Amino acid sequence: MKNVLITGASGGIGSAMAVAFAKEGCNIAVHCNKNRKRAQELAKILCESYRVNAISVSADVSDRSSVNAMYDEIDKEFGKIDVLVNNSGIAQQKLFTEITQDEWNIMIGVNLDGVFNCTQEVLLRYMIKNHSGVILNVSSMWGQTGASCEVHYSAAKAGVIGLTKALAKEVGLSGIRVNCICPGVVMTDMMKDFDEETVNQLREESALNMLGTPKDIADAAVFLCSEKAKFITGQVLGVNGGFI
């Protein structure tokens, strides 16, 4: 039975991933930053519904000491992590010329530094010495193409793509696979500030004339972390309904 850490698991995509991996019989570390109650509730549901071991853990992924403390907690319960899904992320729409230094630092800190912190620690603690492991990073289609009024978000997510490709080459001989998913427009809480007209326009821009669901991303994640994808590493999979 594999042990899986999913960062940002209290959110829409993260919680769908937690359920999808639990259905496959995996033990789940449900990470959150501030919404501990929601993470605890999800962990309880996973334990009761799928007969797996699930725990809630909290950390500010942009803070290495906080990440290390999270792994210490996981050590006590699981002993190791076999699969890391770097899903934590924040977004903001703002003109580039109006982005403050603090907003830039926070965006890069959570979306890119967080991937560095969680990934480096999981490699050092478990995966390299065990000569096995899977790391899945969640970027965005805007990391591939860039988005107007989301320059800091696009830059961070593009960095995640570059990290994925480079790291896969570095750790492949250690039996570790590293891949990346780039979701398109997915109906989560991040979409709550968009009006109905904008949402409909986004839907019409996709080749399938539909928007994604968290389950669409979760299904792709489970596949890339499974033995069915054992010959896949260093890849960037767009799950965007043909939007790009």
Instruction: Give the per-residue SS3 of 165-176.
Output: HHHHHHHHHHCE
Q: DSSP of 27-74, one letter per residue? A: EEEEEESS-HHHHHHHHHHHHHHH---EEEEE--TT-HHHHHHHHHHH
> What is the spatial distance between Cα 219 and Cα 231, in angstroms, rounded to a whole number?
18
> What is the spatial distance between Cα 100 and Cα 89, in angstroms, rounded to a whole number?
18
- What is the SS3 assignment for 107? helix
- Active site residues per annotation: 153
